[in-house]
């Protein structure tokens, strides 16, 4: 059977749950945890078995032949060929949790309908016809063992598989020798039973190793965020509990140019899932704070404000005439000269997650320069900007997005090359520039979002966000595209 996009999408649901699945027993603190509820397991079971059903319906039964003997009539020969499955009905499949091991797929009371052709020969007589095959009470039990390979990918294998057939019957139709073959239906049925019995588990095992396992590899271990940063989503540890699946991922941003150890570590997260959603993603404040360190190390937490960036209706211009209102010596020394402001983070911003929301403590500075005609810069002064910020977080299908809000800034003169002055005279200008020019650029980046660790073709919908102490929980259902 061809492995088309439709089947990939259906397997992707089961893969997502397997990838995210399983609860950690070791004392490891990840930055990102994925928990799968019973609702998610039930959905994965239906979707995965729908793919498996198509695989089983494509069973290729080899031709087989035999000999029949009867007193007074002697020996004859028969063969069955061109056999194909009309349908493989699978009612009420189930996936169960195997604590500490993985998952178990159980199928009971399935039935198979087949058809084919037969032919026989007795002395000089030849005959042929059609046959119908009904297989009742098919049961399949397969254990999916989940593990972690050295690269940090999850591994999935079918560790055991067993099948059973309650009954099988053959209906022969055709010419005059058909009744002879019907006399030996038990032998024929036994042969077909053995063939199909072996085929079922072979297909289940092959489907896991050749389709599900490769699809699992599409889960990104390293997810590229932009030209500066990436996120390490490698699997740290996994196991299963009797209630749910939980996978623990590193969940750490890093600068793509150079990765350094972080001076912070994740805090413990404790969350008990319900069945309102299929998937629950617990995101530690470590996840967000590691992003701050990555961008700070890369030197990306800064923006240069120039006069041409101001709105057309701005009440002031970034030039020495503007500074002359409180720094007349600068205006006299550099008349009619452009001024630029470098706004940067002196330290990685620290985000804390509380039940009331996400609070950000940015350590911001503003350095002012005069821009000479030859484009060289003359430093004027450095201001410390004290403020508080909040971060609203949301998710869109496969990305985490955000929006920042800033409180009023308070300025403090940190260093000056032009003497002391009252920084309050700059307060109105800075309070205008931050929400008008700087914050929109920050939020433009936050709205582009950061990739969530999802395998190919999987998106989230029906989203719910809830903040707890030190971590955020995103509840969602799974959607295929």
Q: DSSP string spanning 129-177?
A: EEEEEEEEEEEEEEEEEEEE-TTS-EEEEEEEEEEEEEEEEEEEEESTT
Q: pLDDT value at position 158?
A: 92
Contact 378, 333 (CB under 8 A): no
Residues 303 and 441 occupy one common structural domain: yes
Contact 43, 278 (CB under 8 A): yes
Q: How many domains does the chain have?
A: 2
Q: pLDDT value at position 179?
A: 60
Q: What is the pTM of this model?
A: 0.84
Closest residue by Cα to residue 365 from 392, 349, 388, 342: 342
When pLDDT is averaged across residues 119-123 and rounded to a whole number, the result is 77
**Which range among 175-184, 389-398, 408-417 shows the weakest confidence by mean pLDDT?**
175-184
Residues 428 and 327 occupy one common structural domain: yes
pLDDT per residue as tens digits for the range 188-215: 778 888 888 888 999 999 988 888 888 8
Residues 212 and 265 occupy one common structural domain: no
Report the DSSP beta bridge partners of residue 90: none
DSSP H/E element including 199: helix 185-207
Burial status of residue 444 (CB atoms within 10 A of its CB: 0-12, 13-18, 19 or more): exposed
Average pLDDT over all residues of the chain: 86
Of the residues 216, 240, 268, the one at which a domain ends: 216
Residue 402 — pLDDT band, cuts 50, 70, 90?
very high
Q: pLDDT value at position 4?
A: 43
| 394: CATH | 3.15.20.10
Could you tell me where the DSSP H helices lie in 208-247? 213-216
Beta-carbon contacts of residue 321 (< 8 Å; ≥ 6 apart): 331, 336
Please tell me which residue, 122 or 207, carries the higher pLDDT value: 207
Contact 319, 341 (CB under 8 A): no
Residue 126 — pLDDT band, cuts 50, 70, 90?
confident
Contact 33, 269 (CB under 8 A): yes
Closest residue by Cα to residue 363 from 287, 444, 404, 302: 302
Q: 26 in a domain, yes or no?
A: no
Alpha carbon distance 237, 375 (integer Å): 54
- CA torsion angle 283 286 291 293 (round to 10): 180
Please tell me which residue, 152 or 434, carries the higher pLDDT value: 434
Please tell me which residue, 443 or 188, carries the higher pLDDT value: 443
Report the half-sphere exposure of 199 (CA within 13 A, side-chain side): 19
Residues 109 and 197 occupy one common structural domain: yes
Q: pLDDT value at position 3?
A: 40
Q: 234 in a domain, yes or no?
A: no
Q: pLDDT value at position 60?
A: 85
Q: pLDDT value at position 180?
A: 57
Contact 456, 215 (CB under 8 A): yes
Statement: residue 124 has pLDDT above 70? no
Residues 210 and 278 occupy one common structural domain: no
Report the DSSP beta bridge partners of residue 466: 473
When pLDDT is averaged across residues 318-324 and rounded to a whole number, the result is 93
pLDDT per residue as tens digits for the range 9-31: 454 445 454 444 433 333 468 99
Which tokens is 148 given?
Answer: 């972690």
**Which range among 227-231, 394-398, 410-414 shows the weakest confidence by mean pLDDT?**
394-398
* Domain boundaries, position 179: 39-216
Beta-carbon contacts of residue 382 (< 8 Å; ≥ 6 apart): 365, 366, 367, 368, 413, 414, 415, 416
Which tokens is 140 given?
Answer: 């399949």
Residues 382 and 279 occupy one common structural domain: yes
| 148: CATH | 3.15.10.10
Compute the Cα dihedral for 300, 306, 311, 315 and give only its sign.
positive
Alpha carbon distance 458, 431 (integer Å): 42
Residues 200 and 280 occupy one common structural domain: no
Q: pLDDT value at position 22?
A: 38
**Which range among 109-118, 178-187, 405-414 shows the weakest confidence by mean pLDDT?**
178-187
| Residues across the chain | 481
Residue 2 — pLDDT band, cuts 50, 70, 90?
very low
- Degrees, nearest 5: CA angle 156-104-458: 55
The packing angle between helices 38-57 and 185-207, to 10°, is: 130
pLDDT per residue as tens digits for the range 237-271: 887 888 888 889 999 999 999 999 999 999 999 88
Contact 346, 363 (CB under 8 A): yes
Q: 6 in a domain, yes or no?
A: no
Residues 289 and 392 occupy one common structural domain: yes
Residues 296 and 211 occupy one common structural domain: no
Percent of the chain having pLDDT more than 90?
53
Alpha carbon distance 466, 67 (integer Å): 71
Residues 455 and 412 occupy one common structural domain: yes
Q: pLDDT value at position 354?
A: 92
When pLDDT is averaged across residues 73-77 and rounded to a whole number, the result is 73
Q: pLDDT value at position 25?
A: 36
Alpha carbon distance 46, 66 (integer Å): 40
When pLDDT is averaged across residues 124-132 and rounded to a whole number, the result is 80
Q: pLDDT value at position 29?
A: 86
Residues 142 and 206 occupy one common structural domain: yes
Statement: residue 6 has pLDDT above 90? no
- Name the pairing type of β-strands 279-284 and 64-70: unpaired
Q: What is the DSSP string of 416-468?
A: ESS----THHHHHHHHHHIIIIIHHHHHHHHHH-EE----TTEEEEEEEEEEE
Statement: residue 476 has pLDDT above 90? yes
Q: 62 in a domain, yes or no?
A: yes
Cα separations in angstroms, 84 against 50, 108, 117, 178, 239: 19, 22, 10, 20, 40
């Amino acid at each position: 059977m061809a492995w088309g996009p439709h089947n990939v999408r259906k397997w992707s649901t089961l893969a997502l749950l397997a990838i995210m699945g399983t609860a950690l027993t070791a004392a490891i603190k990840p930055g990102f945890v994925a928990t799968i509820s019973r609702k998610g397991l039930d959905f994965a079971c239906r979707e995965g078995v729908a793919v498996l059903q198509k695989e089983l319906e494509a069973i290729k039964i080899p031709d087989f032949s035999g000999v029949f003997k009867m007193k007074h009539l002697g020996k004859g020969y028969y063969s069955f060929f061109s056999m194909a499955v009309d349908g493989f009905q699978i009612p009420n499949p189930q996936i169960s949790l195997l604590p500490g091991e993985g998952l178990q797929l159980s199928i009971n009371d399935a039935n198979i309908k087949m058809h084919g052709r037969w032919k026989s020969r007795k002395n000089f007589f030849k005959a042929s016809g059609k046959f119908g095959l009904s297989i009742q009470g098919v049961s399949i039990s397969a254990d999916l063992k989940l593990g972690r390979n050295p690269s940090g990918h999850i591994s999935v294998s079918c560790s055991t598989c067993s099948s059973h057939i309650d009954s099988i019957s053959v209906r022969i139709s055709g010419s005059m020798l058909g009744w002879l073959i019907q006399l030996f239906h038990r032998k024929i049925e036994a042969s077909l039973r053995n063939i199909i019995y072996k085929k079922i588990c072979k297909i289940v095992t092959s489907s896991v190793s050749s389709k599900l396992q490769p699809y699992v590899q599409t889960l990104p271990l390293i997810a590229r965020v932009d030209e500066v940063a990436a996120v390490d989503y490698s699997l740290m540890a996994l196991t299963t509990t009797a209630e749910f699946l939980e996978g623990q991922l590193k969940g750490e941003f890093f600068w793509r140019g150079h990765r350094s150890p972080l001076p912070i570590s994740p805090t413990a997260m404790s969350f008990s899932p319900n069945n309102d959603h299929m998937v629950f993603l617990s995101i530690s404040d470590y996840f967000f704070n590691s992003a701050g360190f990555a961008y700070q190390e890369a030197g990306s937490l800064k923006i240069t404000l120039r006069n041409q960036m101001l709105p057309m209706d701005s009440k002031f211009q970034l030039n020495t005439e503007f500074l002359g209102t409180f720094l007349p010596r600068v205006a006299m020394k550099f008349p009619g000269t452009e001024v630029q402001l470098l706004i940067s983070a002196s330290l990685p911003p620290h985000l804390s997650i509380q039940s009331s929301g996400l609070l950000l403590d940015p350590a911001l500075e503003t350095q002012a320069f005069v821009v000479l005609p030859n484009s060289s810069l003359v430093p004027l002064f450095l201001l410390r900007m004290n403020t508080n910020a909040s971060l609203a977080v949301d998710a869109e299908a496969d990305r985490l997005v955000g929006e920042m809000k800033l409180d009023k800034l308070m300025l403090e003169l940190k260093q000056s090359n032009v003497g002391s002055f009252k920084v309050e005279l700059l307060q109105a200008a800075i309070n205008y520039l931050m929400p008008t020019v700087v914050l929109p650029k920050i939020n433009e980046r936050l709205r582009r979002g950061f990739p969530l660790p999802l395998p190919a073709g999987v998106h989230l919908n029906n989203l719910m966000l809830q903040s707890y102490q030190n971590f955020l929980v995103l509840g969602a259902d799974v959607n295929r595209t």
